[in-house]
């Protein structure tokens, strides 16, 4: 399998989750070996995607520095992971990605509109060689060696619409579109009210998130999946793993994981060379994994 970019430049306009302002997003093809580059056109600032570029993980995954940042990149990165995109220029006029409908399906459609281009260089991935785990209280995230890309997630909320949910997902692009991409982010009405009083989540609405009061889901259309909440957590985890700039071959598992724990996991993975290796697809003996991106 070879590295991928998009065939043509495409753009979309949406609302930013936290500022509530209109955001124009444009994606452009890049050559092999370029990686994923974010560009703030209003600041003429380029941010290379990597764990070292992560600035904040409290409300979303944020990359950049004190001179300029881009927030809420995880849903977009999740779509890049699913389509095996290795090289891309991502241009924004502001400091956050558009939230779209709160899932990644709009970004999947954007990539399909742009088309996929095969580049003349082998695709490289991160293969997990040694188990790595990060814990905080009763929460954890973990990567284990595996010949497939697997994502196992469990959550528990003391809310009648959620309670305990778990989902196991074996990655393929097609399965991602069917099982994960349409799962929306979610929030509790009491938390949204507080955040908006702090000038955050100003763009949040039932058009781009699942809203919950103390008893029920507030969206009139209901849920897209009975376990949409945990599926969205997998969507987020895939996006946070894509911060490495690579698809990952291994088993990701979590209980109550978060953007912060996922970031610590990627740092722990790369902290020791014995934990991982960056390999070309041509060196993999498991051809089934290559078929995941078909």
Instruction: Enumerate the active-site residues.
Output: 259
Residues 6+ apart with CB under 8 A from 291: 172
Smallest Cα–Cα separation from 71: which of 103, 47, 104, 105? 47
Which residue is it, tokens 């890309």?
Answer: 149
Rounded-to-integer distance, Cα 155 and Cα 152, Å: 10
Neighbours of 165 (CB within 10 A): 18
> Structure tokens of 232?
């969205």
Residues 8-29 as b/e (b if ≥16 CB within 10 A, e otherwise) read: eebebebbbbbbbeebebbbbb
What is the enclosing helix (H) or strand (E) of 52? none
- Any residues with CB less than 8 A from the CB of 40 and at least 6 apart, and which? 46, 47, 64, 68, 70, 92, 93, 94, 95
């Amino acid at each position: 399998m070879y590295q991928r970019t998009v065939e043509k430049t495409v753009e979309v306009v949406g609302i930013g989750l936290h500022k509530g302002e209109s955001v124009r997003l444009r994606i452009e093809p890049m050559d092999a070996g370029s990686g994923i580059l974010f560009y703030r056109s209003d600041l003429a600032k380029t941010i290379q995607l990597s764990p070292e570029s992560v600035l904040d993980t409290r409300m979303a995954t944020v990359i950049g520095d004190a001179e300029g940042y881009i927030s809420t990149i995880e849903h977009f990165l999740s779509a890049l992971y699913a389509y095996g995109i290795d090289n891309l220029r991502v241009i924004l006029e502001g400091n956050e990605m558009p939230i779209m409908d709160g899932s990644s399906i709009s970004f999947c459609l954007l990539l399909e509109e742009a088309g996929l281009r095969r580049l003349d260089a082998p695709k490289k991935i991160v293969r997990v060689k040694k188990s790595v785990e990060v814990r905080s209280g009763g929460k954890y995230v973990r990567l284990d060696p595996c010949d497939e890309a697997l994502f196992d997630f469990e959550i528990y909320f003391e809310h009648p619409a959620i309670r305990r949910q778990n989902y196991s997902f074996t990655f393929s692009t097609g399965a991602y579109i069917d099982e994960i991409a349409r799962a929306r982010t979610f929030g509790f009405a009491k938390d949204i009210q507080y955040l908006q009083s702090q000038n955050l989540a100003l763009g949040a609405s039932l058009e781009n998130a699942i809203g919950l009061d103390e008893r029920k889901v507030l969206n009139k259309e209901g849920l897209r999946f009975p376990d949409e909440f945990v599926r969205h957590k997998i969507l987020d985890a895939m996006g946070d793993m894509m911060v490495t700039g690579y698809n990952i071959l291994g088993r990701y598992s979590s209980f109550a994981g978060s953007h912060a724990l996922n970031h610590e996991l990627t740092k722990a993975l790369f902290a020791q060379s014995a934990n991982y290796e960056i390999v070309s697809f041509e060196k993999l003996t498991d051809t089934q994994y290559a078929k995941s991106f078909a």
